[in-house]
Copies of this chain bind each other. A is one copy, B any other.
Amino acid sequence: MAQIFDRVALIGLGLIASSMAHASRAHGLAGEIVGTARSAETRETARELGFCDRVVDTAAEAVKGADLVVLCVPVGVMGAIAREIAPHLKPGAVLSDVGSTKRAVIEAVGPHVPEGVHFIPAHPMAGTEQSGPRSGFAELFENRWLLMTPGDADKGALAKYRAYWEGMGANIEEMEPDHHDLVCAVTSHVPHLIAYTMVGVADDLRRVTDNEVVKFSAAGFRDFTRIAASDPTMWRDVFLTNKDATLEILGRFTEELYALQRAIRQGDGDHLHEYFTRTRAIRRGIIEAGQDTDAPNFGRGR
């Protein structure tokens, strides 16, 4: 693959940024990769692992001369970082982010973007429950979706940035920020909140000891704990910055849950059976769309 950007600056060096660095290098997409993180420990780890060409101490320093700057930090701090780096951005550079919500990022970062810098918000729908600079790997984005909310961004800059993500293996879809936030509330944010809640309930339950919950976590709860093991700061910011869509979907969820609860209380087996039958079809669609494996139990133990 041909080189697309001469210098890429990654601000924040967690799972996504370290995977971007690995992937950029694997596919020869960047002349130089410069990284930085707020924590000295993270910077030290990144230097050790060597996935960046240079690791520098400040965001301002990192973005100097960079053709692409990507904010890979929790959504809640993106505004402050944008303000900090704004005076140092190279004219003509692409500025992007990898935040899980887009309306809030646009509101926080947008006002700081200097004239001549191309702001193209993006959201790679990829990740694992692990976090930090050691968790990245080059294949993370392969055949995963990158959602972009480019608005009226410059066509040339957009084409370049699209080529960069395509080079890392992603499929790209453009949409409006509010629509993005609703889609993600359904497919990701509310499922995560629910998983966190269920794990919290188990943890609270004194009559069933922690030990038993852990011991007997067959399929079901076990999968919830995986989801609920994701980075707490990232998820806090997701919910604080996608409040409206999250609360709307939560309202629908609660409504449906109450209907099922009433069916259980009233012994309405037909209602339950019909509901459970309907949900099978969606699973089938996901497998057919290539978004998951159809191996039983995700291929665990077989």
Chain A residues engaging chain B, CB cutoff 8 angstroms? 76, 125-130, 135, 137, 139, 142, 144-145, 147, 173, 182-184, 186-205, 207-208, 210, 212-230, 232-233, 235-237, 239-240, 243, 246-247, 249-250, 252-254, 256-257, 260-261, 264-265, 267, 269, 272-273, 275-280, 282-286, 289, 291-293, 296-302
Asked if A280 and B226 sit within 8 Å, CB to CB, the answer is no
Asked if A228 and B280 sit within 8 Å, CB to CB, the answer is yes
Q: A250-B261, A257-B254, A269-B240 are in contact. Are A282 and B139 (CB under 8 A)?
A: no
Q: When chains A and B are docked, how far (Å) is the Cα of A284 from the Cα of B226?
A: 9
Q: Tell me the minimal C-beta distance from A102 to chain B in angstroms.
A: 13
Closest to A292 in B: B222
With a CB–CB cut-off of 8 A, which chain B residues contact A265?
243, 247
Copy count, this protein chain: 2
User: At the interface, is chain A mostly helix, strand, loop or mixed?
Assistant: helix
Q: A299: which of B187, B214, B243, B298 is its contact (CB, 8 Å)?
A: B298
With a CB–CB cut-off of 8 A, which chain B residues contact A293?
300
Asked if B267 and A240 sit within 8 Å, CB to CB, the answer is yes
Asked if B197 and A296 sit within 8 Å, CB to CB, the answer is no
With a CB–CB cut-off of 8 A, which chain B residues contact A278?
200, 203
Q: A260-B196, A261-B247, A285-B214 are in contact. Are A208 and B182 (CB under 8 A)?
A: yes
Asked if B301 and A298 sit within 8 Å, CB to CB, the answer is no
Q: When chains A and B are docked, how far (Å) is the Cα of A163 from the Cα of B143?
A: 47
Asked if B228 and A291 sit within 8 Å, CB to CB, the answer is no
Asked if A187 and B200 sit within 8 Å, CB to CB, the answer is no
Closest to A226 in B: B283
With a CB–CB cut-off of 8 A, which chain B residues contact A284?
229
Asked if B226 and A292 sit within 8 Å, CB to CB, the answer is yes
Closest to A289 in B: B214
Asked if A249 and B201 sit within 8 Å, CB to CB, the answer is yes
Asked if B292 and A142 sit within 8 Å, CB to CB, the answer is no
Closest to A192 in B: B220
Asked if B298 and A300 sit within 8 Å, CB to CB, the answer is yes
Asked if B128 and A297 sit within 8 Å, CB to CB, the answer is yes
- Given A129-B297, A182-B207, A210-B285, 19 further pairs, Cβ under 8 A: A130-B296, A173-B215, A184-B216, A199-B279, A200-B256, A201-B252, A201-B256, A204-B256, A213-B282, A215-B291, A217-B286, A217-B291, A225-B279, A228-B282, A229-B283, A235-B272, A239-B264, A239-B272, A240-B267
